[in-house]
Structure 1
C-alpha cells in the first residue's frame, strides 16, 4: 500500500474544510492565536517507512497527547502498585477537567488521561526525578522521536497563568492525600508536558513503540515498555484516550487514539503503524474535528482497525 498517496489524498480532500467549523482552544491564550486552517498528517510503519502531508512536519503544542508519554515514563520505572493505587483505569464519561467526579471518588482520578489523572502521574514522575523532572521528560521525548524535542515556553507560561481549574484539581487531590509533592512542583511539570512542541511526524515516530510490542521505534535492541505494558497502554487509549468521546472514536475509527486540545491526535494500528494528525479547530468534547475525519478516512481507505 502506498501510504504517501493515501495521506496526500486525505490532505487534499480535507483542505477546503479546514477552519470552517469548530473553535481553537481559546481558554489558553497562546493557543487562541493558532491558525485554525492548519492541517497535518503523518505516519511511521513498524518497519520504519514514513509519510507526511499538509502541515505534517510543522510543530504544534501536543497538550494532552503528552499524557500518553508521561504514563509510559511512569510505567517504565514504577511498580504497578505504586502507579495504580491512586489512579483508576475506567472511562470517565465526564469532561476532561471535571471536579465533580473527583470529589465523589475521594480524590482518585478515574483514569490517567483526564487532567486529574495526568496530574497524579506527574506527581509520580516528580518522585522519580525530583527537580530534574522536566529535563528528564524532554530527554525521554527526544530519545523516542530520534531528534531534539523541547517545550514551548510561551505555551507553558500561558498554561500556568490561566490553569485555575488544574490548580483546583491538584489542590483537591492533595487534600485527600493523593499527591506526595508540593502542588506547585507537580503543576510545573504538568504545564510543561502539555507545552511540548512536536510535529505529526515526530509524534508518529515517538509513539512507534506502541505498534512494535513496546520496542523502541529506532532501536530493536531496546524495549521502551514490555509487550504486556504496550497492550495495556493501547487499551487505555481506546477506552479513555479521547475524553468523553472515546466510544464514538471506537465506533467510527476503531483504533486506540490519544488527543489533545492543541488539535493533535495520535492513533495506533498494533503491529502495523502509528499515525498522527493535527487540525486546531475542536469540537465540543475538545477533540480535533478534521483530525477525527482524517482518521476515519484513513481507516476506511486502508481497512486498518483493531476490530
Structure 2
C-alpha cells in the first residue's frame, strides 16, 4: 500500500476520534482553537509527500520547537550543553519545579520546560532576543523549505501573560547560576519559540533531517552529523512526551516530540518524518487523537524502531 493510501486510511479511521481531549485553555490564545481540527502529513526521505485533513493549516507548535532549538544549541556549544541540562526522562509534569531543587538547578532533559529555558539561554548568549529569535525563525524556514513559517505574536503575548510557572523555573535556575542572561530576556526567547506557527506538512518537512541521517531529503545539505541526528532521535524517544514517553514508545515505537498546541512530530529513521495535529490533549498534555493516529500509522507501516 502506498504512503498516500495509508495516510488516507489513518485519516478515515480517526474520524470518530476527532475532538477527543481538551484544549490547552490555560494559554488563552490556544483556548480558542476548534477542538475538532485534525491533520496528518508524511514526508519520506526521498521527498515524497502525503497529507490529509487540516494538514495545511498553521498551528502553534509549542514544545515541538524544543527539538529545533536543541539542534541549534548543540551547534553552538556542542557537548558543553550537557553540563547545564541532563539527558534522562523526568517522570514529572513538564512544568514541575520539584526535581530542580533536588538536582541543584540542572533540568533533567532539554524537552521539559526548564531544560528548554536553559537551551534558550544558551542561544541568547552574546545576542539580543530579537537576533536570537531571527536565527531560530530563519532555521525553521530553512529546514522546512518554506519562508511562510512565522511566530504568532498573539500566542507569545498569551504565554508571557500567563507563564508564571515558567518564570518560577527560570528564576530558580538563575539562583543556581544555570541561567546567565536576564530572566525576562531568556523567557522572551522561550515564549516566542513556542509560538512558532506551522502546518503539519511544514513540520514534517522540518523533521526530515532527523529521518535522513542529518541531511535534508535526497542529496540535500547536511544540517547535523549522522551521530547528532541519532542522539536527538534518542532523546525524543526517551523524553519527547514528558512522563508519557514510555507509553508513547510502547504504543508507537518512534522518536517523537509533542506540544500542547496538539502537534506531534515523529521520525521513522531512514524512512520518513510524520506530523499530526489535533488540539485536544490527554491528561498528560499530549494530543489524544494525534497519539492514537501515530499508533495506527506505525502499525500499518510496520515502521516502529523496535521492528
TM-score (norm 1): 0.97
Query: In structure 2, do the counterparts of structure 1 residues 116 and 28 end up closer, same or farther at CA, with 3 Å as the change threshold?
Result: same
Q: Which residue of the partner structure matches residue 70 of structure 2?
A: 71
Q: Distance in 2 between matches of 1:217 and 1:291?
A: 24
Match of 1:232 in 2: 231
Shift of 1:22: 1.4
Partner in structure 1 of residue 108 of structure 2: 110
Contact 1:76/1:224 (8 A) holds in 2: no
Give 4+ residue runs of structure 1 displaced > 3 Å after superposition: 128-131
How many angstroms apart in 2 are the aligned matches of 1:26 and 1:252?
Answer: 27
What residue ranges of structure 2 are gaps of 5+ in the alignment?
none
Structure 1 gaps of 5+ residues are none
C-alpha distance in 2 between matches for 1:42 and 1:191: 26
- SS of corresponding position for 1:22: coil
Cross-structure match for 1:171: 171
Question: Which of the numbers 62, 87, 110 marks the counterpart of 2:85?
Answer: 87
Contact 1:65 1:258 in 2 (8 A): yes
Describe the superposition over 1:230-261 as per-residue Cα deviations: whole angstroms up to 9, x where unpaired.
00000000000001000000111100010000
Distance 1:264 1:128 in 2: 32
Q: Does 2:31 align with 1:32?
A: yes
Report if aligned partners of 2:76, 2:123 keep a CA contact under 8 Å in 1.
Answer: no
Secondary structure of 1:178's aligned partner: coil
Cα distance, 1:221 vs structure 2: 4.9
Relative to the length of structure 2, the TM-score reads 0.97
1:79-109 CA deviation, whole Å, 9 max, x = no partner?
312x111100000000000011111111100
- What is the aligned partner in structure 1 of residue 40 from structure 2? 41
Aligned-partner SS, 1:197? strand
Name the SS of the counterpart of 1:44 in structure 2.
Answer: strand
Q: State how far apart, in whole Å, the 2-side matches of 1:147 and 1:193 are.
A: 17
Question: Secondary structure of 1:79's partner?
Answer: helix
Q: Give the secondary-structure state (helix, strand or coil) at the position aligned to 2:304.
A: coil
Q: How far 1:222 moved relative to its partner? A: 2.1
Verify the 8 A CA contact 1:207 1:217 in the aligned structure 2.
no
How many residues matched? Answer: 304
Counterpart Cα distance in 1 of 2:105 and 2:76: 24
Structure-2 separation of matches of 1:48 and 1:129 = 35
> Cα RMSD over matched residues?
1.0
Measured in 2, the distance between the counterparts of 1:128 and 1:291 equals 38
**Distance change (3 Å), C-alpha of 1:92 and 1:46:** same
Aligned equivalents of 1:128, 1:275: Cα separation in 2: 35
